[in-house]
Copies of this chain bind each other. A is one copy, B any other.
């Protein structure tokens, strides 16, 4: 189990290889150019706000890494990496409407600055632009992977919605939700890098599984950080899931182990949606007391280990080492 010092140092040692840095800079240019609307200034304002707020570009980095890992020398991976970021951003913009979020990446959310209508339509715009980019990359197989992932994401988001305020949600359903809403796109991101990089079927399968396990670990950590993270770094408020009635792994585990009094507490918060002052602190105290913070962190780490094992089927080079570090980093982060 890593303590905080270790966590910080692991995060600090993530060094992005030069070739990927150069690729990322080109992807930024593609993102800017290919999201531009000649017709509607409002779209550009919204997108400037969204893309200008930064973001880790974690998913494009996966596509770029997968392609470069296999020695790819062309430039179709750049379009696919940008397409992946567009799909991701489209879902974020729509999620913020669904969750009625006020903040995203430490800045006001688009739906809050403009309105829900604008966010619905700009999300659609980004989604369409992502498919235009995929077409530019000239790979029907990549298109198949990314359109499958997009359908899976939407399905999982609805599954999450219908399970809002359901305090008896199972770990299995939780895993189905995060596999769909997060890991499917991670997995598609590495897969299309492998496809464009002309990997063997075994290599593409390895990359697909790597992305999938990585995404599951990443999301479990994200859900944990919503309870123990620090707002300025996370760029959102701690306790958002709690307030929105989103039952995630820490709470599912706490409910499984709850005594009578705790059961009543969780029911009041998640089923009755009746949150009082001090409830978040009480929830955190229960999670700590029952060792759930460490247990869930350890689960995230084991998914990350599973991801790293997939790298064995792939060429052993400095990009592979970077992907290994990325897997460590994705669960050792504090934001």
**A residues apposed to B, CB below 8 Å:** 37, 39-40, 42-43, 90-91, 94, 97-98, 116-118, 120-125, 127-129, 131-132, 134-135, 138, 140, 143-144, 147-148, 150-151, 153-159, 161-162, 176, 180
**Given A148-B132, A150-B131, A155-B43, A97:B124 Cβ within 8 A:** no
Q: Complex: how many Å from CA A129 to CA B148?
A: 8
Interchain CB contact (< 8 A) of A120 among B97, B128, B144, B150:
B97
CB distance from A204 to the nearest CB of B (A): 17
A161 pairs with B117, CB closer than 8 A = yes
**A120 to chain B: which residues have CB within 8 Å?**
94, 97-98, 120, 123
The residue of chain B having its C-beta at the shortest distance from the C-beta of A160 within the complex is B121
A147 pairs with B161, CB closer than 8 A = no
**Given A121-B94, A121-B98, A143-B143, A43:B158 Cβ within 8 A:** yes
A98 pairs with B117, CB closer than 8 A = yes
**A125 to chain B: which residues have CB within 8 Å?**
151, 154-155, 158
CB distance from A252 to the nearest CB of B (A): 19
The residue of chain B having its C-beta at the shortest distance from the C-beta of A126 within the complex is B154
Q: Complex: how many Å from CA A141 to CA B129?
A: 15
Known: A118-B158, A121-B158. 13 other contacts (CB 8 A): A39-B155, A39-B159, A40-B155, A42-B162, A43-B158, A117-B161, A118-B161, A121-B157, A124-B153, A125-B151, A127-B127, A135-B144, A140-B140
A94 pairs with B124, CB closer than 8 A = yes
**Given A97-B116, A121-B94, A128:B154 Cβ within 8 A:** yes
A124 pairs with B91, CB closer than 8 A = yes
Interchain CB contact (< 8 A) of A150 among B42, B116, B128, B176:
B128
CB distance from A40 to the nearest CB of B (A): 5
Among A43, A98, A154, A176: residue with most chain B CB under 10 A: A154
**A94 to chain B: which residues have CB within 8 Å?**
120-121, 124
A176 pairs with B39, CB closer than 8 A = yes
Interchain CB contact (< 8 A) of A40 among B122, B128, B159:
B159
Interchain CB contact (< 8 A) of A116 among B116, B127, B154:
B116
**Given A158-B40, A158-B121, A162-B40, A128:B147 Cβ within 8 A:** yes
30 contacts between A and B (CB under 8 A): A39-B156, A39-B180, A40-B159, A40-B162, A43-B158, A91-B124, A94-B124, A97-B120, A98-B117, A118-B158, A120-B120, A121-B157, A121-B161, A122-B154, A124-B127, A124-B150, A124-B153, A124-B154, A127-B150, A127-B154, A128-B153, A128-B154, A129-B151, A131-B143, A131-B147, A131-B150, A132-B147, A132-B151, A134-B147, A135-B144
